[in-house]
Amino acid sequence: MKEQILIVDDDNDILELLEYSLNSVGYDTLGFLSTKNVRQVLLEEKIDLILMDRNLPDIEGSLYIEMLRSKDINTPVIFISAKDSIEDIKDGLIKGADDYITKPFDMQELILRIKAVLKRYNNESKELIDTLLYQDMKLDLNMHQVNINSINIDLTKLETALLQTMIKNKGRVLDRDYLIKHIWKSSDNINQKTVNVAIKRLKEKIDPQRDKEYIKTIRGVGYLLV
């Protein structure tokens, strides 16, 4: 379900940095130090985007892409290059590429460009990353909102975490100690009553009319998602 990005860079440090950063924002990555096995992988795997250094030791980037295109591989490409000369970008050398970013690059910018390219290629924005489903609710951990019967409700960080662990443990009664340990990691100095209030606030958010009893209280024990 996640988008998979193939990265080619001969500098191992940069490669790792890229992989880590892209993974951390929810992409799957496949890293390569050379173009050696890339074509094969492109044929076998579902790759959504290629991110490659234009100045590889073995082959010039745009040449390689040209080759791919001739083989009917049309995966979008973003080039990374040390050359920041506008000329290069303009004069068609980046033929076949969908975007271009120069080293040293800002990771935020790169991610934005990646998103843009993917969006362009991907009509359906599959933002299905990091969502939890439970009955009629869909919890989006990234956006910090829960969608219940097609209405979106913004949640705070705490509310999100709370709902998340409740969904993860649906059907189980979670006592206050458990919740404190797992949500307020600073276990000790959190008042038990605090949980009551947090639960109350969450209940209020996800069920303002108070007609659906999502969260049930077991007196003397704790709470559970029924």
Partner DNA sequence: GAGTTTTGTAACCGTTATGATATAAATATG
Partner DNA sequence: CATATTTATATCATAACGGTTACAAAACTC
Binding footprint of its own copies on the chain (CB under 8 A) = 1-2, 16, 19-20, 23-24, 28-31, 36-37, 39-40, 43-46, 58-60, 63-64, 66-67, 70-72, 74, 123-124, 129-130, 132, 141-144, 156-157, 161, 164, 168-169, 171-173, 177-178, 181-182, 185, 218-221, 224
105's contact among its own copies, DNA, none, with CB below 5 to 8 A by partner kind, is none
Tell me whether residue 63 or residue 89 sits nearer to its own copies (CB atom): 63
Stretch (H or E) spanning 200: helix 192-206
Binding mask 139-168 for DNA (x = CB under 7 A): ---------------x-xxxx---------
Q: How far is the CB of 196 from DNA (least distance, A)?
A: 4
Q: Give the chain's largest Cα–Cα span.
A: 73
Closest contact distance (angstroms) between CB of 54 and its own copies is 14
Partner touching 149 among DNA, its own copies, none, CB below 5 to 8 Å by kind: none
Residue 205 φ/ψ, nearest 5 degrees: -65, -50
Cα 107–Cα 113–Cα 119 angle in degrees, nearest 5: 135
Task: Supply the minimum distance, in Å, between the C-beta of residue 163 and DNA.
Answer: 11
Cα distance between residue 209 and residue 174, in whole Å: 24
- Given 101, 198, 206, 225, the residue binding DNA (CB under 7 A): 198
Contact 62, 52 (CB under 8 A): no
Contacts 24+ apart (CB under 8 A), 26-30: 26/2, 26/129, 26/130, 26/142, 27/2, 27/3, 27/114, 28/2, 28/3, 28/4, 29/4, 29/5, 30/4, 30/5, 30/6
Axis-axis angle for helices 192-206, 157-168 (nearest 10): 90
Instruction: With H, G, I as helix, E, B as strand and everything else as coil, classify residue 46.
Output: coil
Per CB under 7 A, 200 contacts DNA:
yes
**Does 171 help bind DNA (rule: CB under 7 A)?**
no
User: Under the rule (CB under 7 A), what is the footprint of DNA?
Assistant: 154, 156-159, 184, 189-191, 193-194, 196-201, 203-204, 210, 217-222
